[in-house]
Structure 1
Amino acid sequence: MPTTATTVRAAPAPLRHQERRVLQGVGCGLRDDEIAAELAIPEGAVAGHLARVLAKLGLRDRAAAVVHAFDCGLVVPGRGPRARAQSAAPSVAAGRAEGPGVRISVLGPLRAWQDGRPLNLGHLRQQAVLAALALGEGRTVSRHELLDGVWGTEPPLTNVVPVYIYRLRKTLRIGDGADSVIEHDRCGYRLTPGAVDVDVVRMERLAAEAARADRAGEVPEAIRLCSQALDLFGGELLAGLPGPFAELERLRLTERRTALVQRKLEWQLRWGQLGESIAELFALAAAHPLNEQVAAMLMRALCLTGRQADAVAVFDRTRGHLADELGVPPSRALRRTYQMILRGDDAGPGPAAVRNTTARGPRRGR
C-alpha cells in the first residue's frame, strides 16, 4: 500500500555565471543582440541561457525575469550597460539646481511630478502601494505590510507587489534616465532618502518650525509657518485609494490638519487677530461639533469682540450635540468658560485646558 508523504519543492538550481549575466542584461532592459554584444557571445547563446534561467527559477516569461532581477538585487535601477552609455553622454540636467526632481503629494489626491511634469501613476491599487511608501517616513515597508495595507483580508491570488514596484520604478526616476527613487532590500521597499520631496514631510517640518517660533515668543512667525503647513493640504485626502492603510491615513491626516488649524487659531487669538479667527472657528466648529476645544476658542473669541449672546449660543449648541450624540454633559473646563462669559470675564481659560471630545471619546457620566 503506497504511503503518503508531504511533497517538498526542490530549491531552484543555482545560476551559472553567464546565466546570471544574461539575467542582469534582461533586467537592464537590453535586447538579446545588445546582451550578446555586451558579453561577446553569439546572439543564439543568449536565448539559450535565458531559457535555462526561466526554467531554473520557475519564471513564466521575460517580464517575470525582469521583475526577479530587480527583486533579488541583481539589477539596481539606473545601473548597467544602458545607464553607463547614458551617463557617458552630456547630461541634459547638468545645469539644473540640486535637490529632488521627483515630488509626491499625499495631502490630497495622490499625485507625483518629475521636474514639474505630472506623472501617470497607474491604477488605484498601484497608487495605494506608492502612498504606503510615501507615508512610510523613510522606513522600509515589507511586502506583507503592503499586501495587508492595500488588499486587507482579500489578498490577490498572484504576487503582484513586485510587478507594481517595477512599474513605479520605471515611472519615478531621478533626472533623465538615472536611478529610480524606490530601493529594495531583503526586508522590503522604501523611497530612497533625499531623492523625493514628499509634501507631508514638508508639512511636518513647517509645523515643527512654527512650534519653535512660538517657544521663542515669535507668535507672528509661528502663525505664518503654520499657515504655510496648512496650505499644503488640498482636496480629498488620498481620494479613491483602496485598502485599510489609506483609510487609516485619511483619518490620521484629517486629525493632523484639524490640530494644526486649532494651533494656528490659538496663536491668532493670543496675538489679537480676532476677526481673522472667528470665521474660521465657526467653520471648524460646524465640521467638528463635538470638539469642545474648538467651541471654547470660538466662545472666547466672540466674547472678546462683545458678542456674549453668540458665545452663549455656541455653548448651548455644543451641549446639545454632546447630549444627543454621546450622552455626556459638557466638560468642567467648557462649563467654566461659559460661567466666565456670563460674568463678563474676558480672560477665560486657555483653550488647551478644554477637553477635545472627538480625540478622547466620551467620558462616563457621574
Structure 2
Amino acid sequence: MTMKFRILGPVEAGTDSGETIAVGGPKTKTLLAALVVNANQTLRIDWLSDAIWDGEPPPTAAATLHSYVCRLRSRLAATGPDGADRIRTDADGYRLRVEPGELDSELFQDLMDRGRAAAEQGRPDEACDLLKSALKCWRGPALANISAKFAEVYAVSLDESRVAVMAEWLEHELSLGRHQEVVPELRVLTQRYPLRQRLVRLLMLALYRCGQQAEALHVFRAARHALVEELGVEPGSALQALHQQILNNDAVLEHRHSADTAGRHNLPPDVEDFTGRTDEVHRLLEVITPDDPSRTALLVNAVNGMPGVGKTALMVHVAHLLADHYPDGQLFLELHGHRPDRRPRDPADALGALLLLLGVGEQALPATLEQRAAMWRTQLMHRRVVVVLDDAASLAQVEPLLPGSRNCLVLITSRGRLDGLRTRHTMTLEPMSERDAGMLLGRMLGEARTAGEPDNVGILANLCHRLPLALRIVGARLGNRPSWRLGDLIERLRDPDGLNRLSTATLSLDASFAESYRRLHATQQRVITLLGAHPAESFDVGAAAVAAALDPAEAERVLESLVDANMLESRGIGRYAMHPLLRDYLLGTGTGRDDAARPRNRAEARTGATRLPATAAAA
C-alpha cells in the first residue's frame, strides 16, 4: 500500500485505500507535522525539541523525542514493509521520506499550477475543473490539529493559497456565465473574509449579472463599512469603479457568451499582499478619465527601474485594477529583455504570440513583421484591451507591438529608459519607502512573527535597502524557517557575504544584477565595476574620469548612459550614486574588474582600501 500524508486539514498519515493511521497523542502528531512539513529534509534534534515543546523543551527532551520517533515508526510500519523505513535517523537528526504524489499539499500545488496554466492559455473550462479539483484536496484549515508555533506561519501561507485559488476558480466560473451558481459560494466567502475586496467585487458582479442590482449595491455598502471600521481605509479603486458602473448600468458589465473573449485574459495573478506605491498607482490610473472624443492617440504608460524594484508587480497590479475598464481583454507578454536563459523576444515572434492570445489560428499568422503588426492593429481596432509588455529590451522591440486604437492601453516595463517612446506617463520606479518596506515584511511574516521584534522589521527593511525583490527573498527565507528569529537573519545579512544569502530556489537578486551587467557594453562594464569599489556614497564626473582613465566628456557620456540603464542614480548635474545592493554585488563578484583595481576581499573594498587613483577615492 502507498502511504498518504495530509496537512491540508488535520495532520494525518494514512494509506491509499483511505485508512487513517492512529499515530498517537498531541506530541506525536506535532512530530509528524514537523517531519511532513519538512519532508525529505533532516531535522536536527534541538530544532525538533523546540518545535514540539514550543521553545521550552524539558531536560529529558532528547530521550522523550526518541521515544516519540520510535512510536511513530511502529505505527507507520504497521501499514506494511513500505512504512517501516519511512523515518530515517541521520547524523544529527531525523528525516521523513515522502515520495512524489504522497503529500496532499504537493497535489494541491500541482493542480493549482496546471489550472493557472490552462487559464493563461485561454482554456477557462479546464482551468475551472483543475482549480476545483485542487480545492477538493482540503479538509479544513491547514494543520488544524497542531497548536505548535512552528506551524503557524506555514499554515497561514497554505490557507492564503487556498483563498487565492477559490477566488481564481470563482472568477473563471463567472467568466463562463455561471453567475447564479457562484453566488452562494461567494456569499459564504465574503462573510468569512469581509475585507477581501476581490471576493466582494466578484459577488457584486455576479449579483448584478443575476439582475440583483440593489443587492449588489448593498454588498458594496457593507464592504465599505467593514473596511472603514476595521482598517480605516476606503475601498480600492477597482471596487469603487465597479460600484459606479453598477450605478450606471454600464453595458461593459454584461457577460459576453461568445467564444470571442476566450484566450484574452492571461494576466498573472495579482500579488495578494501588494503594499504601498500609492502615488505611482494613482499616476498610472489617471488614464481613467471621461472619454475625450478629440483624443485619437493610443494610451501608453511605461515604468523603468533597476533590477528587483518591483516594476512587473506594479504593472500587473494596475492592469488588474483596470480590468473592468478594458473588458475585451487583459493581455500579458514577457519580452525577455533581461533573462539569462533567453534572448530578447523578436518583435515578429512577440506579435505572433499576441495574435494567438486573441484567438487567431496559427495557420492564419502572416509571415512578415509588417503583416503581423497590421493584423494586430486591425484585431484591436474596435476592442478595449489592456496589454502589459514586460521586461522590454529596447524601443525597437516595443514599437511594432503598439496597437493603433485609442481604446487600448499599453503598460510597459523595462530596466532602462526607452528614449523616444511616446507615452502618457513614464516613471522611474524607486525602492519602497521605509514605512512601506516594513509594512510589506510585516504582511509576509504575520503579526505573530513580528510582534516580539518590531525594531528588527525596520532593520531588515533597511538591510534590504527597501528593494522589493530583496524583501520578498527575506520574507520567503524566514517563512521557510519558522524557528529563526528576525535577528538571526539580520546577523547573517550584516556579514560581508550577506548579499549571497538573498536568494531562494526561484528568486535571486544576484542573478538579476548579473544579467543587467551582462547587457552593458565593455566600457560601461569597466566603469561601473571600478565605481563599485569607490568608498564614497556618491561621486562626480571628475572622480569617475580619473578612476576609469577617461577624459571628463567621455566619462560623463558613459555615466549618463548608466543612469539611462538604471545602473546609477543621478544626484544632480554631474553627480551620481550607486544602489548599495548593486555595489555589494560588484564587490562580491569582482566581475570584469581589472586586477589593478580589484580589492583583495570585500572588507577591503568596503573600507575603500583599493588601488583606485587617490584623486578618485577622495572625490
Does TM, scored on the shorter chain, surpass 0.5?
A: yes
Counterpart check, 1:102 vs 2:6: no
Residues 127 and 115 of structure 1: CA distance in aligned 2, closer, same or farther (over 3 Å): same
Map of 1:201 onto structure 2: 106
Map of 1:277 onto structure 2: 182
Of the three residues 213, 230, 234, the one matched with 2:135 is 230
Deviation of 1:143 after TM superposition, in Å, equals 2.6
Deviation of 1:320 after TM superposition, in Å, equals 0.3
Map of 1:149 onto structure 2: 51
Instruction: For 2:112, give the aligned amino acid.
Output: A
Range with bigger deviation, 247-256 or 331-340: 247-256
Contact residue 179 and residue 210 of structure 2 kept, 8 A: yes
Cα distance in 1 between the residues matched to 2:268 and 2:120: 18
Cα distance in 2 between the residues matched to 1:226 and 1:101: 25
Counterpart check, 1:136 vs 2:38: yes
Deviation of 1:267 after TM superposition, in Å, equals 0.8
Cα distance in 2 between the residues matched to 1:242 and 1:203: 23
Cα distance in 2 between the residues matched to 1:175 and 1:150: 25
Instruction: For 2:247, give the aligned amino acid.
Output: L
* Secondary structure in structure 2 of the residue aligned to 1:232: coil
Counterpart check, 1:127 vs 2:32: no
TM-score of the superposition, structure 2-length normalised?
0.39
Query: Which digits, 9 at most, give the CA deviation of each residue in 1:196-229, with x for residues without a partner?
Result: 7111111111111111221222211111111111
Cα distance in 2 between the residues matched to 1:301 and 1:354: 20
Map of 1:295 onto structure 2: 200
Of the three residues 238, 246, 266, the one matched with 1:333 is 238
Contact residue 102 and residue 173 of structure 1 kept, 8 A: no
Deviation of 1:322 after TM superposition, in Å, equals 0.7
Query: Which digits, 9 at most, give the CA deviation of each residue in 1:23-45, with x for residues without a partner?
Result: xxxxxxxxxxxxxxxxxxxxxxx
Contact residue 101 and residue 196 of structure 1 kept, 8 A: no
Deviation of 1:334 after TM superposition, in Å, equals 1.4
Residues 168 and 217 of structure 1: CA distance in aligned 2, closer, same or farther (over 3 Å): same
Deviation of 1:238 after TM superposition, in Å, equals 2.7
* Structure 2: unaligned runs, 5 residues or longer: 255-264, 283-619
Deviation of 1:174 after TM superposition, in Å, equals 8.5
Counterpart mapping for 1:68-217 below 5 A: 101-114=2-15, 116=17, 117-158=19-60, 159=62, 160-173=64-77, 176-178=80-82, 179-194=84-99, 197-217=102-122
Map of 2:226 onto structure 1: 321
Counterpart mapping for 1:6-45 below 5 A: none
Deviation of 1:137 after TM superposition, in Å, equals 4.8
Contact residue 104 and residue 134 of structure 1 kept, 8 A: yes
Map of 2:162 onto structure 1: 257
Range with bigger deviation, 277-286 or 300-309: 300-309
* Secondary structure in structure 2 of the residue aligned to 1:275: helix
- Ranked by relative contact order (alpha carbons within 8 Å, sequence separation 6 or more), the top structure is 1
Residues 355 and 362 of structure 1: CA distance in aligned 2, closer, same or farther (over 3 Å): farther
Cα distance in 2 between the residues matched to 1:354 and 1:309: 30
Instruction: For 2:24, give the aligned amino acid.
Output: G
Cα distance in 2 between the residues matched to 1:341 and 1:139: 53
Query: Which digits, 9 at most, give the CA deviation of each residue in 1:309-363, with x for residues without a partner?
Result: 111111100110011111111112211111111121253599x899988x46899
* Secondary structure in structure 1 of the residue aligned to 2:10: coil
Regions of 4+ moved over 6 Å: 352-357, 361-366
Query: Which digits, 9 at most, give the CA deviation of each residue in 1:12-66, with x for residues without a partner?
Result: xxxxxxxxxxxxxxxxxxxxxxxxxxxxxxxxxxxxxxxxxxxxxxxxxxxxxxx
Aligned-residue CA RMSD in angstroms?
3.0
Contact residue 101 and residue 107 of structure 2 kept, 8 A: no
Instruction: For 1:127, give the aligned amino acid.
Output: K
Deviation of 1:129 after TM superposition, in Å, equals 1.2
Range with bigger deviation, 249-258 or 273-282: 249-258
What is the number of residues matched between the two proteins? 265
Cα distance in 2 between the residues matched to 1:360 and 1:219: 25
* Structure 1: unaligned runs, 5 residues or longer: 1-99
* Secondary structure in structure 2 of the residue aligned to 1:172: helix
Instruction: For 1:184, give the aligned amino acid.
Output: T
TM-score of the superposition, structure 1-length normalised?
0.65
Contact residue 5 and residue 103 of structure 2 kept, 8 A: yes
Rg: which structure is higher? 1
